[in-house]
Structure 1
């Protein structure tokens, strides 16, 4: 059963993506990829594309975009790959945390043992 005012039927999702179920493999979006709009929405643009551009005026994770638009992540990735292919958004993966220095950890361990 659908919520009032929300049409998330498979037919609607099919038309949003033009029948595509997978994003462009070269775009490589995952849940934590940060997306930033490179331009403002243009007139005549698909409403979902325009909503993404408005949402991404600052770095925004793919999962946040999907949640805000109330769309499945897979559909959101297809829309993002459209925008990425035309240069309207840029994407980057968050930096991986560096491993702590083993010497520092050893010093902490020695200090804890002295307590």
Structure 2
């Protein structure tokens, strides 16, 4: 049975990130899709290699974190390492077309009031 996230050793996470606790670039959020641009190389940090294998097809940051059983913040640091070296690319999901977006909240309130009056 694999260890639970809350049982993760903070010292190990510190080592995995090289002591970094945050990223300066806001390019990544939980739904950003990550795609590998190369295969893992010998001697590469094991977490980086796992990310490259996981992301052969577009994979969301939150999915990577779940698969690695690490906090999203730690995974973002690892992803930034890979982005900086060109080993992965990141892209935001496309926004939904205008016709599929939710209506104005004010209109929804008016509809609700109208339904309640029935």
Cα displacement (A) at 1:13: 0.4
Cα displacement (A) at 1:7: 6.3
Q: Which residue of 1 aligns with 2:29?
A: 30
Q: Which residue of 2 aligns with 1:20?
A: 20
Query: Secondary structure in 2 aligned to 1:100?
Result: helix
Counterparts in 2 of 1:1-115, with a 5 A limit? 3=3, 8-25=8-25, 28-100=27-99
Runs (4+) of structure 1 exceeding 2 A deviation are: none
Query: Secondary structure in 1 aligned to 2:67?
Result: helix
Q: RMSD of aligned C-alpha atoms?
A: 2.1
Long gaps (5+) in structure 1: 102-115
Preserved contact between residue 24 and residue 81 of structure 1 (Cα < 8 Å)? no
Inter-partner Cα distance in structure 2 for 1:59 and 1:69:
16
Cα displacement (A) at 1:97: 0.4
Query: Secondary structure in 2 aligned to 1:84?
Result: helix
1:51-76 Cα offsets, whole Å, 9 max, x none, are 00000000000000000000000000
1:7-37 Cα offsets, whole Å, 9 max, x none, are 61110000000000112416x1100000000
Aligned residues: 98
Please report the TM-score for the alignment, with normalisation by the length of structure 2: 0.77
Please report the TM-score for the alignment, with normalisation by the length of structure 1: 0.79
Preserved contact between residue 24 and residue 78 of structure 1 (Cα < 8 Å)? no
